[in-house]
Amino acid sequence: MTDLALCYMSATEALGRYRDGSLSPLEATKAHLARLDAVEPAINAFMTRDHDSALEEAAASEARWARAAPLGPLDGVTVTVKDLIPQKGRPMRNGSATSSEAPVDADAPCVARLREAGCVFLGKTTSPEFGWKGITDGPLFGYTRNPWNLAHSPGGSSGGAAASLAAGVGHLALGNDGGGSIRIPAGYSGLYGLKPTFGRVPDHPREGAFCMTSTEGPITRGVEDAALMLNTLARPDAGDWYALPWEDRDWSAGIEDGVAGLRIAYAPDLGGAVVADEVRAAVDEAVATFAAMGATVEEVGPVFDPLEGPMTPLWLAGFAATLRGVPEEKRALLDPRFREVAECGLDVTLEQYHGSILHRDRLGSAMGRFHERHDLLLTPTLPTTAPAVETPYHSQGFHRWNHAVPFTVPFNLTGQPGASIPCGLSAAGLPIGLQIVAAKYREDLVLLASRAYERSRTWAWPQGAVERALAAGVPGAH
């Protein structure tokens, strides 16, 4: 029988137990691999997995701990890596049947830092084709399902990362976020997801239209684990000339200091977004908690105008560039909806594209001035709870700008740090997320506020709803 307490143990606690000898990395890895085998048929969250290499890495970590000589601050911690992020010796399919099955020959900087720190890699997790949407499915692998309710999506594009972690597979998950792809699945899946300031986590090569809006970051079951993971992910890499100067700091320092005295803005209708009533009620209650903890909270209205009109050319043109890189003879293998969106981008003019860039610049300047008056901005993470797993993306029922990214994509455009933290459940038992945003470079404030809110409420893993859903299996399956 699976030891759920072991599977859902935080990385912070596991490291403490490795240190005192009451748990070994091999025990933890075996528990997570057993859990992976048990839940994967239901959630479909992995592109590749390799138990043998994970066990070898765990055994090596165990030997290091026995000698009191861990490689780094995450030695023996189990982690998954999103398919869109290169990991040496594993294929990077980009969620697409048009991609190569050959293993890549080098780690992304973030994966290299985790490897240097002694992490144990459990496998690569699913992402929609080229990370194009906020739910996770595609012709290559089918549907990834939300362990809270298998009839629903875990979100995307780091959907496999979130689904596996919410199901008790691994201590940490590595995702990336170019429009909400860490925060969206964290919000839908009851997890903590942190998008760092652009440039905080080194990356290379940076390619394509979204190279200035995307960053890697942690998905975790708690705030302390995210700070711990950021310490490693943010270490320097000379190959990224966009990277921020490295700060030799511990991102967990000061996160227990509380929010008393902070100036907090609340924008439930940011950019004109329309939010479901039960989401608004849960987020209103969460925001009231910050006032009760001593912060000054002010509702500020939409802050800026809707972004769909000015920013659609950038979105479409980015995927058109991806389409141009797919050989004509392979385009029939693409997700039809991705292809439709990408083909629309072929008609974007240089003038329209330039207009998006100028609008982004104005948005960044406006948010810089906004944070002269407000230390933090609170919003819902998403307007609704998780959609049904077979929902067509960017359709009338689930429109990209109205339902998926109105609260998340603005802060990819501005490069600001933001996080999603669970703040309740809907009547149907699906998670609701609160987004916490700070000015550029102020991950410390995001983490501090997140930890203060986390301490104020009860959100303990494992969750009974997840276990009941996984036990019931996929709806309609025989």
| CA distance linking residue 321 with residue 307, whole number of Å | 21
Is 22 an annotated catalytic residue?
Answer: no
Selecting among 24, 82, 158, 356, the annotated active-site residue is: 82
Selecting among 10, 96, 181, 450, the annotated active-site residue is: 181
State the Rg of the chain over Cα: 21
Count of residues making up the chain: 478
| Structure token digits, residue 149 | 């309710």
Is 157 an annotated catalytic residue?
Answer: yes
Question: Do the beta carbons of residue 108 and residue 98 sit within 8 Å?
Answer: no
The number of angstroms, rounded, from the C-alpha of 17 to the middle of its chain's C-alpha atoms is: 27
Q: Which residue has the tokens 């307490």?
A: 5
| CA distance linking residue 67 with residue 70, whole number of Å | 8
Q: Which residue has the tokens 């990408």?
A: 342
**DSSP symbol at 88:** B
The order of strands in the sheet holding 263-266 is 46-49, 120-125, 78-82, 172-177, 215-220, 192-195, 418-425, 431-438, 376-380, 263-266, 296-299
Selecting among 10, 24, 99, 157, the annotated active-site residue is: 157
| Structure token digits, residue 332 | 């029939």
Determine how many CB atoms are found less than 10 A away from the CB of residue 20.
7
Is 181 an annotated catalytic residue?
Answer: yes
Catalytic residue IDs: 82, 157, 181
